[in-house]
Amino acid sequence: MSTMNQPEVMVTVTSVASAEVKKFMDQEGVDPAKGGLRVSVQPGGCSGFKYGLLIEDEPAEDDLVVDQGGWNVFVDPFSAQYINGVTIDYVSSMQGSGFTFKNPNSTGGCGCGSSFSA
């Protein structure tokens, strides 16, 4: 693992998910030039870790900022090790709609799709 101040973190947001994020940012009055979507990993969930999504006005001092072409994803250093390579999608189905995560680092998961083990 590199010891650079700003490690690379790859987060892919599908066009469908991106449109939803922009809708939420509009609703909350967040300027896409400064604000963005915080993607985090927290201990918990049925598999050990769970994902968190939050619209924020600006990044924290130690955040990694991933440009999504018109808006940003913010990732804290702890979450970056688990989120690198994740694809965030948005699905609508009869069971409901919401963001989903495809994580190549995950060693296991569960049916809910919002928690994983690594």
Domain range summary for the chain, segments of one domain joined by +: 11-105
Mean pLDDT, the chain, as a whole number?
Answer: 86
CATH class of 11-105: mainly beta
**Of 70, 97, 89, 112, the residue nearest 11 (C-alpha):** 89
Coil vs helix vs strand at 40: strand
**pTM > 0.85: yes or no:** no
Give the per-residue pLDDT at 1.
Answer: 42
CA count, 13 A, side-chain hemisphere, 107: 4
**Tokens 């909350």, located at residue:** 28
More confident residue, 103 or 40: 40
Say yes or no to pLDDT of 114 above 80: no
Alpha-carbon distance of 65 to 38, in angstroms, equals: 9
Tally Cβ neighbours within 10 Å of residue 8: 10
